[in-house]
A = this chain, B = another copy of it.
Amino acid sequence: MDEFKVLQVKKSVFADNDRRAEALRQTLKKHRVFLLNLMSSPGAGKTTLLSRTIETLGNQLKIGVMEADIDSDVDARTIESFGAKVIQLHTGGMCHLDADMTRQGLEALGTDDLELAILENVGNLVCPAEFDTGAVKNAMILSVPEGDDKPLKYPLMFSVCDLVLINLFDVLPYFDFDMKKCVTNIRLRNPKAKIIPVCARTGEGIDLWCDWLCSEISAWRGQ
């Protein structure tokens, strides 16, 4: 399989992640590439959401995806089958991506022909929230099977995100998940975050998510 690259990204020895993240953001701004950092627990639906996003926006925006995983390339294969430019990043056991690892990924992906780059971060509600990747916006997915109490247990993740997607609302009848309670819990951590319920596999709510994404890109371009 040589359709997409697999890159082993190395953690930077430099402690100044915030400075590096800001520098990466400036470089991307110069090249007009909007970087979105997408985070969630393992199996919450990041790859399915991105597949739908490529289907919906692929004709309007040149999209590239970085799939970060400790091992395997299953997600990169999926994204590639939807026709987007993709690279698989292997973190070598690392539980998150920092700004320099993201920079390495973007360099290997190639951003010359891109308008939107999406980093699918390692599936983890803890560590990825601690590192600014250089993204313009942070989004996360909370899936219904995980439970409505997750904002109470993983406060930082919910507080650093500009958008919370609540995925798999089609299985609400089979889980003890209270949407109202969930929204209240998210608001405790982040009064400003946009909240959008979606069902990535059926496509419900995907239009609202894509509208959010496009309007954020427009606003950023106009700044």
Residues from chain B with a CB closer than 8 A to the CB of A123 are: 41, 125, 153-154
Cβ contacts A46-77/B at 8 Å (1 or 0 each): 00000000000000000000000111101000
**Can you name the residue of chain B whose Cβ is closest to the Cβ of A96?**
B126
**Given A123-B41, A146-B42 in contact, is the A153-B70 Cβ separation under 8 Å?**
yes
Question: Is A23 located at the chain interface by the 8 A CB criterion?
Answer: no
Q: Are B171 and A42 in contact (CB under 8 A)?
A: no
Additional pairs, 4, CB under 8 Å, beyond known A74-B153, A171-B174: A43-B150, A95-B126, A95-B127, A124-B125
Q: Chain A residues in contact with chain B, CB under 8 A?
A: 41-43, 69-72, 74, 93, 95, 122-127, 130, 143, 145-147, 149-150, 152-156, 168, 170-171, 174, 176, 201
